[in-house]
Every structure is written in C-alpha cells, then in structure tokens.
Structure 1
Amino acid sequence: MKRILLFSLTAIFASNVSAQTQIGNSDMETWESVSSDFEPVNWNSFLSAQGSLTGFAANQIEESSDIRPGSTGTKSARIWTRDAGFNVKANGNVTLGRINMGSITPSSSDNHNISLTADPTFSEALTGTPDSIVFWVKYNAADGTSEARMKAVLHDDYDYTDPETGTSADHVVATAVLNYSPTAWTRMAIAFDYSGPATTNTYILVTFASNAIPGGGDVNDEVFIDDIELIYNGGTGSADTDGDGVTDADEATDTTDPNDLCSFVLASQTVAPSATWESTDCDFDGVSNGQELLNGSDPLVTVSTLDPNAFTVAMDNDLNVINVFTDLNIDGEYAIYNTVGQKVQSGEVAAAIPFEAKSGIYFFHINTASGSYKFEIYKK
C-alpha cells in the first residue's frame, strides 16, 4: 500500500516553539483501495498481510462516519473481530507495520505485526522522542470485561515484531501499552517508558487490536480509532500524558490527575498543551480551552449567576446517588458530563439523583431560569 510521509506540526506555547513529528494520516481521514477493499493510507490491515495463511484473510477494517466528539474530521477507522473458522476468532488489527499470518493458533508467535524497515510501505520512520501517545477510541464488546489494546514501540533499525520474537526485545527504545475496557468515545493517553535496552530509535510500530488477548473477545466486538497524536515536551521529567500543559511531575505535586486533561492547575502550565486540549471545553461554557487562554480567562471557571453557597452537591458512592442540598425551591434541569465533554446523564433536578457510572471525575451542572452552576463529583 502506498505510504505518505510524516508531517510536522508546530506548537507554540509561551516562548517555546518546537517541531513535533507526527504519524501520517493519524486522523484516519484518507483511505485507498487495497485488494478490492479499503485501508487507511499509512496503515495496514489483514488486506495487506503476509504469511502462509493469507489465503484465509478477510477484510476487518472499514472507514466509518462515527467520529469522536469535537472532531474536525469526518472519518474514523473501525476494526472488528470475526469468526475465522476452525473455532478461531480473529481479532481486528491495524498497524503501521505488516501483519504476518502464520498459524491457526491465535497465540502462536508466527502471528505478529512486523516493522519491515527496508520497505517504507510496512514501516514508519521516527527519530523523535515523544513523551506520550494519545488517541481517541470507542470500544463495543459483548462482554463488559473484555479489553482492547493499543501498543506503540520505538525501536532501532531492526525488523521488530509485536508480539516480540527472536531478539526483538533487544531493539526496544521505549514502549507505551494500554489495555482498555468497553467505552464510548474516550481520549486515551499513555506515556512512553524509555527503559530500553536500545538507546536510539529510528522507527515506531503502533498497533490497535480489538482484544488484548489473541483470539479473545467475541465475534463482532469493534473498535473505532481516531486522532492519534504523539506528545513532545522535550526533556526528562517533562512528560505530559494528558496533554493539558502541566507535566506529570507537576500534577503529582498539585495532586491533580495526569490522565485527565481537565484536571490541572492553570498556573502550573509550563509546556505546550495538545491540540486536543485546546479544542476541549473543560468548563462547558461554550468557549474552548485554547480560546479562553487567548481571551485571558480561566478554562476551568464557568461564570454563574447562582449563589455558589445556595447549593451543596455530594456523591454517595455507597448508594450510587447524587445528593443535592439546598433551601431554594428549584425548578430546573441537570446534566452530567464526563471529562471529555460527553453528556452521560440528564434530567430534572431532585434531592437525590441515581447515578450509575464508571469510577472517575464527572461534572454536574444545574440549570435554572435564574442561572446555572457546575460541581465536580467523584464516582468511586
């Protein structure tokens, strides 16, 4: 499949300007014909696989109009698990390398993805040293305990394989691996671990799979993938996993969440926020974080006409209920948002509001004729 060159983005924050090399077609917007079907340009699937069992390959990737919230594009990539026969499930797989099909046993080392460094069609050159990788995914699975997987490996000039075979492990410079549960569109972030043993990378191999276990999950489990970004912050200790402009080290000091792009102390921003952070509206006031910085306003503060002392909101994690305490007679509505701006629940305000959700931080909005107010709650 024809590949496209890496492109450069320029991020400007304070007086710091740095070129950031990104993966080509990381937004999954461009597709081309391969073996009578289509693959995203710069990525490879079973349609372009190699190995002794390629005769059993089938298409398990497609262009989708299901895109993540706030996307400026119109497409994502969808991969899915299929019944491959012989009582075997074939997980959906898309990679910057090439898929090798060598065994009907899913866990066999003969089944792997490989960086073919001599062939730019099946390898991705990268000499930059990103601190982390972020991406958006939507994962639907029949079993709520299933996990999909993203793995990114920076390696030297060697045909590295994932899973690792031969001496592949000796050529690893850094690795970022994340297994994740079924979810609506969510921004994921994971830092690279520069444990080596190799020291200088020249390539990157990224793979998305519809299950973390070869042959795991269920037929028709599916993953939607969009807007992959490498985050560069330049220097030891400056990793910013969530891209909010505050280093992980500073987030530890501030006791904020380094994996939540809306959990940060504005005064602690010392590195360039990611494009995703800039386009996000953390306080849900209709103005993006990036625009708020340009305006000189606080992206975590919503202007409210309600007396903040008129309400107390508390999450009862034992009963899974949000308690609203007030002496006012309020006739209004509420809405609950997750940290990426998705509305997860809404309705009429009541003294006790049932709230069943995954653990994490949520934003609880009260809207009335006289104004609105926002609270942050934590669901265990």
Structure 2
Amino acid sequence: MKKLFTLITLFAGTVAAMGTDYTDKLVVNINNTATVPVTTTISVEEQPDGKYSLQLKNFMLTAGKNPEDVMPVGTINISDVDGTSAGNTTMLSTSQSIKIENGDTPGIDFWMGSMLPEVPVNVKAEMAAERLYALITINMPGIGDIEVVFGDVYQMANSGFELFHTATSGDVTSDEPDNWHSFMSCTGAFASLVSTVPHTFISQEARPGSAGTSSVLIKSGKVLGIVVANGTMTNGRLQAGAMSATDPKNCAFIDITSEDTDTNGDLFHNKFYGKPDSMSVWVKFTQETPQTDYPYATVTAVITDGSYYQEPVDKDYTDIIVARAANATIESKDGVWQKLTIPFDYEPYTDKDAKTILMTFSTNAGAGKGTGNDELYVDDLEMIYNCSATGITIKGTPVDGFGTAADNVYEVIVDGDNADVDIADIAVTTNGKGARVTMEKADVDCIGGGSDVIITVTSADLKKNNTYCVKTRSAQYAGINNAAIGAGGKEEVKAIYNVNGQQIKSPAKGSICIVKYTNGKTVKKIVK
C-alpha cells in the first residue's frame, strides 16, 4: 500500500556504548502503514534499582528512501522501565512522558525534539540475550501517535505491499515488493528461461477500506510463448530446476544460512519467531480463461525451526515444521476483493522454537495449470495473535459462568473462613498459541478474607491484551463483600459498624452489622 501522505522513515545514528546494544531493522507505523525499514541500534541498561533504561540516539524522520531529506528529531532516552523476567527473556514496559534531547550527529545543529514539550511514550518490549523486540509509541505534536517497531519477528516485512523496487534479469524488468521475490531472482538450471517473463507488478488498486492506494499484482505468463508459468511470489527464493512443472526441483525454498541477496539488497529469508494463531490477507483473483479442473489460486505459509525447507516438498520435512497454514482453493468470485482468514495448524508438527517462515502466493494451485494471463492481487497480509482467556480455574475448580461477564469481572465464593487465594492457585487457558498470562493481586481490603486477582492475557506480539478480574470471597461474607467490590457499577463500602456503633473490620459470623456506602446509603446485614 502507498501512504495517503509522505512516507516517514525513522533511523538512528551510532549509539554510544552503554549496557547492551541491539542492532536490527526498525520501521515506523502510522495509520497502520509501515515506512521503509532501516538498520539502527537501541541500547538497554539495567539500573541499580532493577529497572531499565533505553536509548535510541540521533533519531530522525526522513521522506521515502532518500537519506538526504531528513528532519532531525533528537535522542530518545527512556528510564525507569519496569522489567519482569520469564525464563530467558525479560519483558519491559512503561508509560510516561519524556523530553527528547538534542542529538550529536556531526553537521546537524538543529534538532526538533529540543523545541518540543515533553511527549507521552509507551514502551512494550521483549529482551533476550541475542535480540530485542520493542514497540515504542510516541505522541508527536503535529503528527499524532507513531509506533516505532524494532526487531519485528512476529510480522512479515512489507506486509502491506507498499514498498517496491525494480528487479532485473538481463533486459527484463519487474516491479517486486521489497522483501518479496519472483522469477527475476530465480535460481536453478532453467532460471534464465523463466525469468524472461515478469510476474509481479505494482497495482494502484488497494483492497476496500485500505489506508493506502497500492497492492501487488501477480500474473502468470507463457515461457517461449508456449509453456504456462504460474505467477508466483515468495519471501524465500524460487528455483527453476527442471522442465516438468510438477518436478519438486521447481520450488520455493528458504535457507537461512545463505547470505545471497536480490538486487534491492534483501535476503531470501527473514527471522520469524512468532507462533500466530491465524493469518489474514486480502486477495482478488481472475483467470483469463476459466479452468474447470484447476480453478483456484493458492497461498501457503510454513513456519520452521530454521532448517532448509521447500515447497513443493522433495522429502518428509515434518520434524522441522512448527506450523502450517494454507488455502489452495482461492476462488475468483467474479474478480472481487475478498478477505481470507487462514488458521495455522500446529498439531501434526514439532514443538520446536520458530526461527523462520516460508510464504508463497501462486496464481494456480496446480503447477503450470493456469492460463497465460491469470491475475492474483494481494494486499494487507497480517499474522494474528489471539489474547483471550478461554477458562480460569481456582485450585482446580473452574470459574462458573466464565465468558458471560461483560466487564470480565468474576466473583467466586470459596468454602471456609479464609478465601485468600494465591496466584499459584489460579490457572488460565487461552486461545493464543503464544499468548502471555500475567497475574497480580490487587490491594483490596476484603471483609472476612478474600483476594482480588487481576489477570492480563497479552498477545505474543505485545500489541493487544485482555484483562480479567477474579474476586474470591468467603461464603459467610459474600453478601457484604458483593457490595464492597465496587466494580461493574456496584456500590462501594465506606465503613462497617457493629450494633453498638463501633467501627469494625471483620464482623463475626452470626452477628448483625451496619454497612455504610460511599453514596450515603446505610444497610443492616446479618452475617451468615
């Protein structure tokens, strides 16, 4: 997709040595559209108090790919960032306002950031020894919220298909989306033959409701004017190794050990550590001549442990596959845009860590079975990570009626005089393969014992979350504590008194007490 306004790219200069330096790709998302990726460094240092500080130095805005057209912003320093360790990773988070400082790039005297007031920032990050994935949202005056994404290993690069370059093979040129490849960079014995026909093009038609104006058009073609070659696009690399279209030497493959790049400098593979629950993509498909036996286009996505992989396969790769998603029945539907949501299947495959992904789009699900001018438009690909709880149990007992509370607040009556529940007593199931669950006790003074536990389910890519509250109460104090909850519009208790007018904290079983609420209401209750 193209932007409705000038592309804005974020980059930074050299970072002074402090803490741990992480160097990776960084993009800015504005109105769900991503700018040109740039390589930069973020420094992370642990403070003496156990919190963390992050630094992004010499922060600049630039239009498009032209490094000369820049607006210097300054150095971003964010301190007092909370950190929570989980295994080999540390989760970082903070919401605060910061003052952007001047940078120190030689030859630049004016930095916009120093002229700005304090700006609100929100940080969510996942830090490991070898990598940093960070989402930094900055509210920039005159621009609004911009989302800085560093080290993204959960989405496909250029998934909106808004950034293109000219790929060449001899005298033949083709417009290829950045980070995606077709036959111009093909390898194999017959590469020079199939690369005589371009297969990818910039389309000025975007899917309905898009924030941009572009998509990628994939077209089939005829080699030597006779043999039909399906239009194919992949984030890996295409190989033309045989004359027969069905020979597995004709494939898309991914090899993370290869340092080969295309004419744009893009590798034929990418880091991908996510375990998405599904993916969505917009497509529009037409066949020049409708085929009764082979009427479908196709898309596949295979997440692996980083070992070599190809499609169609030439052997059994089950032990390296982490998950697979595919739709081999993309219909024309009279050539209208359609949104596909395709689930990832994890069950038949290994439970190894994800390291990369191979995605392939083709104008026909059968090798060489289309016609010479079939068209497949593709726009707005997104990996989806779920973050909803599907059930909560307390000491092995499921919470009754879970999923029915509009405010996600549940009260659980626990047998016995003491209804205090530890976080270790609570188990949560979710609908997200890689969803993260955190729990904390709320600081609530519960009558007769009890606990308020706040449960947060966060998507694996840290972009979404859902919050749930479980309130445990002892049965004999349930009537009073219901009023004390103060959630979902219920009244809050101001004070409790015995019949002699003395203020008390916990009324005795069988006694009569007087409860006063913050709205002025007073109620006499019998504690059962």
State the TM bucket, normalised to the shorter chain.
Answer: 0.5 to 0.7
Cα distance change of structure 1 residues 47 and 139 upon mapping to structure 2, 3 Å threshold: same
In structure 2, what is the Cα distance between the partners aligned to 1:237 and 1:221?
43
Report the Cα offset of residue 88 of structure 1. 2.3
1:160-190 superposed Cα distances (whole Å, 9 cap, x missing partner): 1011123433311100000211131111110
Q: 1:153 aligns with which of 298, 302, 311?
A: 302
- Distance in 2, Cα, partners of 1:198 & 1:211: 29
- State how far apart, in whole Å, the 2-side matches of 1:84 and 1:144 are: 20
Cα distance in 1, alignment partners of residues 338 and 318 from structure 2: 31
Match of 2:269 in 1: 123
Tell me the equivalent position of 2:166: 33
In the other structure, the counterpart of 1:189 is 341
Letter of the 2:349 partner, please give it: P
**Aligned partners of 2:282 and 2:317: how far apart in 1?**
28
Q: Deviations over 1:205-226 (max 9, x none)?
A: 1110000000112110110000
Distance in 2 between the 1:53 and 1:64 partners? 28
2: CA distance between counterparts of 1:85 and 1:73? 36
- Residue number in structure 2 paired with 1:220: 373
Aligned letter for 2:159? S
1:226 match: secondary structure:
strand
Which residues of structure 1 form unaligned runs of 5+?
Answer: 12-16, 239-249, 251-269, 275-380
TM-score (norm 2): 0.41
- Residues 78-135 of structure 1: CA deviation (Å, up to 9, x unaligned): 1111112484210000001000001121110110000121236111211111110100
Match of 2:208?
Answer: 69
Q: Is the 8 A contact 1:159 1:168 kept in 2?
A: no
SS in 2 for 1:206: strand
Verify the 8 A CA contact 1:157 1:203 in the aligned structure 2: yes
2:281 to 121, 130, 135: 135
- Say how many residue pairs are matched: 235
2:161–2:214 Cα contact (<8 Å) kept? yes
Seen in structure 2, the aligned counterparts of structure 1 residues 49 and 97 have a Cα distance that, compared at 3 Å, is same
- Measure the CA separation in 1 of the matches of 2:26 and 2:367: 30
Q: Name 1:88's counterpart in structure 2.
A: 227
Counterpart selection for 1:198 from 350, 354, 359 = 350
Q: Please show how residues 281-360 of structure 1 align to structure 2 within 5 Å.
A: none
Which of the pair is proportionally richer in strand? 2
Gaps of 5+ in 2: 1-23, 33-123, 126-134, 136-151, 260-266, 392-402, 404-456, 462-528
Which residue number corresponds to residue 184 of structure 2?
A: 47
Rounded to whole Å, the distance in 1 between the matches of 2:229 and 2:389 is: 40
CA distance 1:203–1:81, shift in 2 (3 Å): same
Hey, what's the Cα distance between the residues in 1 that align with 2:303 and 2:347? 11
What is the alpha-carbon distance in structure 1 between the residues aligned to residue 317 and residue 25 of structure 2? Answer: 25
Indicate conservation of the 8 Å contact 2:186/2:237, yes or no: yes
Contact 1:81–1:220, Cα closer than 8 Å, also in 2: yes
Cα RMSD of the aligned pairs, angstroms, is: 2.9
Q: Tell me the alpha carbon deviations over residues 217-266 of structure 1, each in whole angstroms, 9 at most, x when there is no partner.
A: 2110110000000001158979xxxxxxxxxxx9xxxxxxxxxxxxxxxx
Q: Does 1:112 align with 2:259?
A: no
Instruction: Give the Cα separation in 2 of the matches to 1:51 and 1:159.
Output: 16
More contact order relative to length (CA 8 Å, sep ≥ 6): 1
* 1:132-281 matched pairs, under 5 angstroms: 132-141=278-287, 142-143=289-290, 145=292, 146-179=295-328, 180-183=330-333, 184-199=336-351, 200-234=353-387
Maintained 8 Å contact 2:174/2:199:
no
CA contact (8 A) 2:320 2:350 kept: yes
Partner Cα distance (2:206, 2:291) in 1: 22
* Alpha-carbon separation, structure 1, partners of 2:389 and 2:258: 33
More helix by share: 1
CA distances 1:127-146 after superposition (whole Å, capped 9, x unpaired): 11111010000001121641
Change (3 A) 1:98 1:131: same
Indicate the SS of the match to 1:55. Answer: helix
SS of match in other structure, 1:79 = strand
8 Å contact kept, 1:9–1:22:
no
* Partner Cα separation in structure 2 for residue 204 and residue 236 of structure 1: 27
Q: Verify the 8 A CA contact 2:303 2:324 in the aligned structure 1.
A: yes
